[in-house]
Structure 1
Amino acid sequence: MGTVTAIDGVRVFTGDGLTEPRRVYLDGAEIGTGRTPDVVVDGRGRVLLPGLIDAHMHTVRGREDLQDLATWGVTTGLDMAAWPSAFVTAMRGQTGVAQILSATTPAVGPGGNHARMPGFPADGVVTGPREARAFVDRRVAEGADYIKIVTEAAPPEGMDQETVDAIVAAAHGHGLLVVAHAVTTGAVHVAVAAGVDISTHAPLDAVLDDATVQRMRDAGTVCSPTLTMMRGVADLRAAAGLRYEHARDSVTALHAAGVRLLVGTDANSAPGAPFAPRHGESMHDELGLMVDAGLTPVEALRSATGLTAQIFGLDDRGVVEPGRRADLLLVDGDPTEDIGATRAIAGGWIAGERVR
């Protein structure tokens, strides 16, 4: 049996608010119910959160990226493109650092920027609907946890609507969620028309129109806007007419309409990326930007924990309850009032092990 840790006098985030001060037990890799503790941690004046889940990141440097996530209280990272499959498998097996899931290789059109990335796998380029099922079958064979598609407004840069539709249908046939990289309003239209489950990024070219927002709400489409990335790109490419305010105001409109929003950063360390949010640290930037866009601190915290776990079927984490993974973040202050308090990290645990 593993070490039993008790955190005393701590208020616990429930997804809706905070409990009164209480004792929480970590029994080995899970949250427990009350064996005699080997270690006692003072939680007075502090708040215990489920470990944060970054709904959009990329594993590039390997374990170093996962260690950076863990250091900042991010205990799970949803990798949205990584290859080769042997590398992804090795990163899934790391212990003592953030755990990842992965889309492995994404589907891209033959003329877009992604297809021209050095080292991009040839089997990720999809030129027509007849190739859709084979693409998805390859991802399933290498253990993809969900399917990632890069959508564009139209060929020749991206895949046509029929091809995107076919990939979504094939993925859903395997019971897999589909995440669309959609950085323009036109790309969002393609993704939503195809019935993707999650649209990631918020467009910089214009604010999403009311009809698209309502269609996303009615279809149950989820959005992970990656405002940290979009702000960074807008700062670098303002001359091209890209404005961060468009992304922020799109999030405000989506939130007002009741579209579910997830906290993702697009953290990466890839050479040639348009911007590189820092693994882990950028999660706290993203929480602040989501609050600035209209979410309450409680909503932002829920979107970074239990809601993401629910959407991606991670039933073993995202809440502080007995029997769940002991993936936890202890902070000074009250982040339900001041979202910046998530940076005041007093302790973190992954599967019951204290993060060093």
Structure 2
Amino acid sequence: MTYRPLLNDLVDMAAGRAPVDLVVRNARIVDVFSQRIVEAPLAIGGGRFLGFFEAEAHATLDAEGRYLLPGLIDGHVHIESSLVSPAQFARLVLARGTTAVIADPHEIANVCGLAGLRYMLDATRDLPLDVRLALPSCVPATPFENAGAVLDAAALATLMDDPRVAGLGEMMNFPGVLAGDADVLDKIALALDRGKTVDGHSPGLAGRDLATYAAARIATDHECTTVEEMHERIALGMYVLLREGSAARDMARLAPGITPGNARRCVFCTDDRQPADILRDGHIDNHLRIAVSHGVDPVTAVTIATLNAAECFGLRDRGAVAPGRVADFVLVDDLTGFAVRKVYAAGRLVARDGAVVVDLPDHADPAVRDTVNIRPLDDTAFRLPLPTGLARVIGLQPHSLLTDALERDVPRDASGCFTPGDGLVKLAVVERHKATGNVGVGIIEGYGLRGGAVATTVAHDSHNIVVAGDNEADMLVAVRELERTGGGITLCAGGRVLASLPLPVAGLMSDRPATEVSATFAQMLSIAHETLHISRDIEPFMTLSFLTLPVIPALKLTDRGLFDVRTFSFTTVGV
């Protein structure tokens, strides 16, 4: 923004030559700079904090003794994983006190490339939620699958100078960093040359490898699962993003590792969080509750949720209640339950008692629709011929993204093709971006599905169609339903569709209200467990979504075939 037109008004209001817009009285203000609680009137004007003083004002707000926090900040989130549009996502999180997010649009970029990134910028431009993008660093995520786009440093350079771009998104290709891969280092340099943050992703790295990763000026990591990993990264000067999402829940393990000495290098993030979890448990306000319940000082926890994130990602005018900063703030009842009563963005009331009270414009863009483009499939598309009855099988682990590499004696029909049974289910990945006709077929154990099929276009990271079933007819019905709806999630049995959640925005996001999406999703979960008998130890849809990601051990399936993550090479299903 251009500050000069605003400065006259701010200075005149702060000096008392003009009335301020709002004075907040009877608030207990959390001062994240001095780590104290301030009880004083708070003047606001021009969407900015002006100072702690009484003033002639156009409006007043009685906080009734509640605590006033800076607006909460999510340090790393994929909005697409909420399954709703950016406007509907904003409706969810604003109501819980989150006023800014660092969003990595990695998912939509893998489907739509630069058009997807431009959509995310346009769709968030006029929202009261401040959305800063971290441009995806790994599109495609790996060379072992077919994505919808390829984004090199030259492509990212077309958007890196946008003031709403915070930097480079999570650098998942840590082997490329360690090897000095030219394309990887070009992307890192692109962000650093512009003074922007490079976000990290380094699960399991330690010692010299981790030091090498940090030497590349990668500033953060949200993949810590132990206090030891957390402390090692902080000692190297990195920020650790403590994650509490829908799949990965790390806060309870990591919160005890927060100390007075390292707290300023900690940030909260959600990564991937579904609407039902936000509606039920909250967003960054939930991190605050967990942190305090594990012994973290409440003011320290608020600092982690606000100032730390702002400083980490270069949001210099946010993250604190201080003169000149954007007047994003939250009123909560106390510093243990953090029940959000009112939320203000740039000095304007945007949410009250769990409901957004302003209009949130939804943005439509044909460039991110009609993204399911598959070659017609015939009745033999999912056949899996095997030379013998011994096969490599993907073994699911309860409540985990990791899989086991198993070998099983499997049933075959008279033509030597695998037939599901004995707890084994067929899995297929259908390329859906360029109609290549690629179909990878494999076998999974531990899913529990009987009597139908489940399919989705949410399939990390390339987001091809992934379908599981115990018969090929229902698998075909499911894939054709996704083609009809433009993407989404579907359940089929007996040759008919039982339920569908259309996700027409890139096959990843709905354009419907979050409450409606959440209700449909809950109904489909019930059908998956009760009608299709999927194990209750397995999240039916998220499990499928990650069975296609060939960077998480041990076996995964892409549109190009079965992939052994341990050796980083393709393998055969038949042994």
TM (norm. structure 2) is 0.48
Is 1:233 matched up with 2:243?
A: no
- Does the C-alpha gap of structure 1 residues 304 and 209 become closer, same or farther in structure 2, counting only changes over 3 Å? closer
Is 1:185 matched up with 2:207?
A: no
Is 1:24 matched up with 2:42?
A: yes
Superposition pairs of residues 248-263 of structure 1, within 5 angstroms: 248-250=252-254, 252-253=256-257, 255=259, 258=262, 260-263=265-268
* Unaligned 5+ runs, structure 2: 1-8, 10-18, 110-115, 351-356, 358-575
Does the 8 A contact of 1:178 with 1:197 survive in 2?
Answer: yes
Superposition pairs of residues 72-221 of structure 1, within 5 angstroms: 72-81=96-105, 83=109, 84-95=116-127, 97-107=128-138, 110-111=141-142, 121-124=148-151, 133-134=153-154, 136-140=156-160, 144-151=165-172, 154=175, 161-163=179-181, 164-165=184-185, 167-182=187-202, 184-186=203-205, 189=210, 191-192=213-214, 194-203=216-225, 207=226, 209=228, 213-214=231-232, 216-221=233-238
Does the 8 A contact of 2:102 with 2:133 survive in 1?
Answer: yes
TM-fit CA distance, 1:92: 3.6
Q: For residues 330 and 100 of structure 1, what CA distance do their matches in structure 2 show? A: 21
Higher strand share: 2
What amino acid is aligned across from residue 233 of structure 1 in structure 2? A
Q: For residues 224 and 35 of structure 1, what CA distance do their matches in structure 2 show? A: 39
- Does the C-alpha gap of structure 1 residues 47 and 296 become closer, same or farther in structure 2, counting only changes over 3 Å? same
What amino acid is aligned across from residue 147 of structure 1 in structure 2? L
Compare relative contact order (CA 8 Å, sep 6+) and give the higher one, 1 or 2. Answer: 1
Q: For residues 287 and 46 of structure 1, what CA distance do their matches in structure 2 show? A: 16
Does the 8 A contact of 2:104 with 2:135 survive in 1?
Answer: yes
- Does the C-alpha gap of structure 1 residues 330 and 351 become closer, same or farther in structure 2, counting only changes over 3 Å? same
TM-fit CA distance, 1:151: 2.2
- Structure 2 residue aligned with 1:347: 342
- Structure 1 residue aligned with 2:93: 69
Larger radius of gyration: 2
Q: For residues 42 and 227 of structure 2, what CA distance do their matches in structure 1 show? A: 43
Aligned CA-pair RMSD = 3.4
How far does the alpha carbon of each residue in 1:212-259 deviate from its partner, in whole angstroms, 9 at most, with x for none? 834x23431001021x22xx436xxxxxxxxx67x7545544647726
Does the 8 A contact of 2:30 with 2:38 survive in 1?
Answer: no
- Does the C-alpha gap of structure 1 residues 149 and 321 become closer, same or farther in structure 2, counting only changes over 3 Å? closer
Q: Identity across aligned pairs (percent)?
A: 21
TM-fit CA distance, 1:48: 0.9
Q: For residues 42 and 254 of structure 1, what CA distance do their matches in structure 2 show? A: 34
Does the 8 A contact of 2:332 with 2:342 survive in 1?
Answer: yes
How far does the alpha carbon of each residue in 1:61-115 deviate from its partner, in whole angstroms, 9 at most, with x for none? 12111122211111111112254122122134123x21110013332565389x6
Q: For residues 315 and 153 of structure 1, what CA distance do their matches in structure 2 show? A: 29
* Unaligned 5+ runs, structure 1: 125-130, 235-243, 271-275
TM-fit CA distance, 1:142: 6.2
Higher helix share: 1
TM (norm. structure 1) is 0.74
- Give 2:76's match in structure 1, choosing from 56, 60, 63: 56
- Does the C-alpha gap of structure 1 residues 252 and 136 become closer, same or farther in structure 2, counting only changes over 3 Å? farther
Q: Would you say how many aligned residue pairs link Structure 1 and Structure 2? A: 311
TM-fit CA distance, 1:146: 0.8
Does the 8 A contact of 1:148 with 1:181 survive in 2?
Answer: no
Q: For residues 104 and 65 of structure 2, what CA distance do their matches in structure 1 show? A: 36
